[in-house]
Structure formats: structure tokens, C-alpha cells
Structure 1
Amino acid sequence: MNAIVVTALRRPLTFVVLSILIVMLGILSILRTPTDVFPNIKIPVVAAVWTYPGLLPQEFAGRITYNFELAVTTTVQNIEHMESNSYYGRSIVDIYFQPGTPIGEAEAEVTAISQTVLLGLPPMVPAPMIMALNPSQVPVIALQITSDKQTPSDLFKLGVITVRPLLATVPGAVVAHPNGGMDSFVMVSMNQAELRAHHLAAADVQAALRKQNIVLPAGDQKIDATDWMVQTNAAPQSMEDIANIPVKRVGNAVIYVRDVADVYRGGHPQTNLVLVKGRQAVEVITQKGGTASTLDVVAATKALLPRLRRILPPDVHVSILEDASVMVKDQIKDVVQEMITAAFLTGIVVLLFLGSWRSTVIIATSIPLAILCALIGLALVLSGLFTQFLWPAMPHGASL
């Protein structure tokens, strides 16, 4: 310690230059380091979401979840443990890997084995949705979409088709599926009495809809100097077209879909509801990625709102429902305020007890420099340079 003091007294210009360098690097680190309340937590977890509508939880666990877990433990490496939950028509399997496992490689291995498992599962089971989970991926801003004229189905469609794709362009943003509203489908409701009267079954109507709702490539036809694009489109364009699809011919009489079923616009039973002043609305939640900054994601999302309002119908209103950046800014403000208070009180104490302006200036400048050094070290750790310098040959699977 005495040697440092003696060196500082003998070479004051050197320490002045070092102080200026610390200030420059500290300001650069503050500008480039993501700002948030909690640090980025890296836990290698991969989730597999299986769906098979109508299957009971006990059947799902025995026929799909168990077979998938068995295949994963046989093929995938570096597994720490697994957790699974089977529900009605759905199963979620969380695969935890050893610390330090590359999450990209783990996700690729789980995806590959899930495609192989499909061959031994019940027929028509869709491939699972494989995604890497990140504990730092938390909601940072929520938008509500309201209208006095649009139906809940129209609001949901706007949230999925217009709002969500635009918000997904924000760097570091992960946009979840909209909440509220209702999805829209063309429903064909069978009339059992009419089906029995015409000696038909629901499978006959389903087969007719499948055969007469196709689009096939037909190529092109070159005639003289013109190359004509040939289109074979048998897909119905309206609900009336669906109702007029023939199902069966009996002599000269043709039985259409409208004779044995009702065709209307509907959807799945609504499972979540968002109400704003007593009217149904849609909520779109934006999460931040693991390494993204809450302030950056929220600021970029707010910058897109004027553009979003221009492309939406005039009667549709988009407003901010929740904003996590307010809490982050308050926390930063409190930290800066405490730093200034600590430096001021320390300087006052030194001035009162030592009565030296020189010692007071040294103390008042050394505290901010020490804080800037800590920020520089934090920026190096977050960027990975510090880790690569100290552990250049870290073995696979090791962690700090």
C-alpha cells in the first residue's frame, strides 16, 4: 500500500492519465452494458410441448410422455434431470442439462430425437414444439388492443396478424401469443337426424370436405408468345361455397353439406378473457431475451406504437397496460442518488476531521473512480472476455 502511495506521488501524471482512461472506459461500459434489475441467469433448460387434443392425462403420460422421456434419456447427453406434467390433450417436458452445456446443441439433440419418437406414438400425433427456456426472459411491457366496433374475434386476428409480427422486429424482444379475444374458424355442425335420414355418417361429410378442398400445382402452358400460368384451386372461398359441397348422389338427387350440417363462423371455446371497461379486449405481452436490456426493449416497443396505430383501423386503440421500465428507472435513480449521497457525506467527514481540501478532493474523486472500475469489470464479465482470459481451456460441461 505504501509503495502505491509513493509511486502516485512520484508519478502524478501517470495516475491522472489512468484516471482519465478509467472515466472513458467506465462511460463506455455504462453505455454498452445492458441495464436491468436482475442479471442474466443462464440455466440450460429445453422444453418439449406435446399436443394431442382429446387425450386424457393418464393416457397422455403413458403413451406419449413416457416414450419421449425414455428416448431422450437413451440418446441425449449431459442431462441433469427431467420434469414432466401431463394435462388433458397436452404434455410439457422440461429437460434440465448440466451447467455449461451449450443450449443450442442440446435443443438440436432434443428436436432430432422427438422426430424419431413420432414413429412409435399414436397416429396423427403432431411434432412437439421444442424451445429453450431462459429464467431471465420476463415480461417487460404489455399492450392492450381495444375497439368499440370490432368483435373479439376481429381483435384477436389483428393481434396475431398485425400487432405481434411488428413487435417481433424489436431487437431482443420475445412476443407471446395474444391473450383475450377469440380465434375464428369455419365450423361445420352436423345434424344427426339429417345424417340418419340420408344414410350418412360424419366421416362421409369429412371425406367430402377433404377431397373438395385442395390446391394442386398445375404448371404453365405456353401458347404462341404467351406463357400462361395454370391454376387448379378447388378451395372454397366462402362459407356458402362450403355449404354447397356435394356429399352424396342418390339417383338424380344430390345431397349437399347444407342438407346435413350448419356452416357458420365460430371458434374454440374461449379459455381466457381480457376486459377493459366491461368490453372484451386483447393483450399482447412482450418479453425480453436473456441478454437484452429492459430499457432498450421497452423504448424500441414504444417507438413502434405510432407506426402501429397508422396501420390499424381507426377505431382500434393500442395503449400501454404495463411497463417494467418504470421500475428499472426508479431503481437506477435510487442507486445513483445513494452513490452521490455517500460521496458527499464522505467528503464532508474528511473535511471536518482532517481539515484538508486536498484529502477531500482525493476521496471525492477516488469513490467514483472505484465505482467505474467495478462497472468496467462487470462489463468484461458480461461480455465473456474476463472468463476467456482466466479460463482459456475450460473443459466441456464446466461452469463458473
Structure 2
Amino acid sequence: MWIVRLALRRPYTFVVGALVLLLLTPYVLLRTPTDIFPAINIPVISVIWQYTGLSALEVEQRLNYMHERALSATVNDIEHTESTAYNGVGVIKVFLREGASVDGGVAQITAIAQTIMRQMPPGQTPPLIIRYNASTVPILQYAFSSRKLGEQELYDLAQNHIRIGLSTEQGVSIPWPYGGRTRLVSVDLDLPALQAKNLSPQDVVTAMSAQNFIFPSGTAKIGSTEYDITLNTSPAVLDELNDLPIKTVNGATIRVRDVAQVRDGYAPQQNIVRQDGVRGTLLTMLRSGSASTLDVIARVKAALPRVLSGTPPELLVKEFADQSIFVR
């Protein structure tokens, strides 16, 4: 009853307070994020190890098992861990207790991952560590295809042009595209030619590794002028790799082109995306942070024409899975 007595004694104060709330209501409504699901803060951290060529059993024994043992002794507030092993990929989910510091958990997991890498197979790279959020769901997807462009070109456009152009928009997170082929330099060995010249595949690898380096060249001061020095330790054109020498026998130099062929190739394809029967790539947009789904989708759609202005006209773009339809 005290609030009633206070209102009767100070009526003007309560009237002004009610008017302030009434005036602030439109401002609050406009700034309130609109989404299908509420913000769900689940303290889960995912650790993804990758080692191409390793079987699922070896991934479990050599990567996941070693990391899980180290996590139990160094990371605070762990409730339980789950791990899944695939060919070349190991996924560990670290579930923290309610109220635990996720940022602190990420820092501790990152620190111990760098430490145990010495005990892992040679060439192992640091893991990808991400925070899992149940409200981070796809809100928009774009498919890219072409009758003239190859899968490598489509993947390159989606990854290095479109994805980068859209990722600067506020509230959007864009993972790597699905489908397509990842470009890389491929060396196709001619095994009969290698045997005829008494060479092994390792000889080719050693020769190319020893002649493809990036060194700091520095400068040279001659008189009163300082010149930049450029070294030729790394080929500038792909075809120059074919001219690298491997071995000299009886005065004759054996080059890479004599036993192999260097070309613009692609990594083994892990997934395929088709649009109207034509292979292409798929970009998925995720909402990040506390941004509104409607605002994020509106920003992406507004920025897409500007990003696509620098792409080939043969590129076909199709939009689907627009979640703003359901949010509205």
C-alpha cells in the first residue's frame, strides 16, 4: 500500500513517469531484436582438429584422446566432454557448467592445445576453436552456379569475393562455402618416367620444397640511394615450377617437367552442391551477436548487388531459405 500513498502524495511525479515510459516505448520497440528463437547462452566450446589422410581410428587415438586428457586437467568448470572422429577430422565438444566463463574456457583450451601439439603427428596444425550458440542458425542462403564457369572458379568467387564483401555487414557471420573445389597447385607424377630416371616421388617433393622459399630480401645502400632487393627464390608464374631442376646426371639436368606436370588443380572434393542440375556453391548466412534477424537480412540483401557488380556476368545467383518470412 505504500506505493499508493506515495502516488497520492506526489501525483505529478507519477504522471511524468508514465509519460516518459509512453514516449520511450517506440524507441525500445524499434531497437528490440526480432528473431524466431530467444538468445540462448549455452556454455559449449567446440574444438576441431584436422589432419588430412588420418583414419577415424587414428584421429580418435592420436588427436581427440590426447587433447581430452589434457583438457580434464587444465580447463576449469568442465561438466563433460564429447568427441567424434571422422577421416581426417576430430571434433571435441566441451560442455561447461552453468555460469562458467566461456571466454576463460576458450583461453585455457587454446593454451593447452598449443602445448600438446608437440606430442601429435608431425605437421599437425592448431585446432579451430569456436563458441557454440544454440541461437546461431542459418537465416539466409545463396546458391551460385554457372554454365560456363568451373567449380574451382565458383568456389573462388564465393570464398574470396562474395563472402568477404558481405562479411563486413553488421551482425552477419558467413562460414566457408559448401560445394565447389578448393584451388591448389597440383603436381601429377609420371611414375614410369620417374623409374626410368631412377628418381622417387620424394625427390620431386624435396626439389620443389628447396627451391620455393619466401625470404626477407631487405635493401642495399649504394651511395646516397637505397634500393629494394628482390629474390627469385619463389616462382612468380605457375608454369615456372615445371622448370625447377631436380637432379643432374652426367651433365644432363632433370627438371620437374621431365617427370611430372604442375597445374592449377583442386583439393579432393568433400561435398557437392547442385542448382537446377548444375554444380555450384552454397553460401550460408548466420546471425551473430544480439542483432535482429530482420535487420541482418535487410543489410545483406542491400549489399549483395554492390558485391556482385565485380563478378562475371555468367554467374547465376539464387536466393532461398530466407528466415525473415517466418520472423515476420
Shorter chain as denominator, the TM-score bin is: over 0.9
CA contact (8 A) 1:171 1:297 kept: yes
Shift of 1:8: 7.6
Structure 2 distance, partners of 1:15, 1:48, is 54
Per the alignment, residue 314 of structure 1 pairs with: 313
Matches of residues 128-277 of structure 1 in structure 2 within 5 Å? 128-277=127-276
Per the alignment, residue 372 of structure 1 pairs with: none
Structure 1 distance, partners of 2:142, 2:235, is 36
Q: Deviations over 1:58-82 (max 9, x none)?
A: 1221122111101110111110110
CA contact (8 A) 1:309 1:317 kept: no
Per the alignment, residue 21 of structure 1 pairs with: 20
Per the alignment, residue 98 of structure 1 pairs with: 97
Structure 2 distance, partners of 1:98, 1:24, is 41
Shift of 1:9: 8.7
Per the alignment, residue 111 of structure 1 pairs with: 110
RMSD: 2.1
Q: Secondary structure of 1:320's partner?
A: strand
Per the alignment, residue 283 of structure 1 pairs with: 282
Q: State, as a whole percentage, how many aligned pairs show the same letter.
A: 37
Rg larger in 1 or in 2? 1
Structure 2 distance, partners of 1:238, 1:218, is 19
Per the alignment, residue 46 of structure 2 pairs with: 47
Structure 2 distance, partners of 1:297, 1:219, is 46
TM-score normalised by structure 2 residue count = 0.93
TM-score normalised by structure 1 residue count = 0.77
Structure 2 distance, partners of 1:164, 1:290, is 18
Shift of 1:234: 2.1
Q: Does 2:321 match 1:325?
A: no
Shift of 1:309: 2.0
Q: Secondary structure of 1:231's partner?
A: coil
- Counterpart residue identity of residue 202, structure 2: A
Shift of 1:147: 2.9
Q: Deviations over 1:282-339 (max 9, x none)?
A: 211110014221111111111111211222223324342221111101xxxxxxxxxx
Structure 1, gaps ≥5 residues long:
330-400
Higher helix share: 1
Q: Does 2:65 match 1:71?
A: no
Q: Secondary structure of 2:309's partner?
A: helix
Q: Secondary structure of 2:231's partner?
A: strand
CA contact (8 A) 1:147 1:316 kept: yes
Structure 2 distance, partners of 1:269, 1:52, is 14
Structure 2 distance, partners of 1:216, 1:199, is 32
CA contact (8 A) 2:239 2:263 kept: no
CA contact (8 A) 1:156 1:182 kept: yes
Shift of 1:16: 4.5
Q: Deviations over 1:57-108 (max 9, x none)?
A: 1122112211110111011111011000011111000001111112111101
CA contact (8 A) 1:40 1:290 kept: no
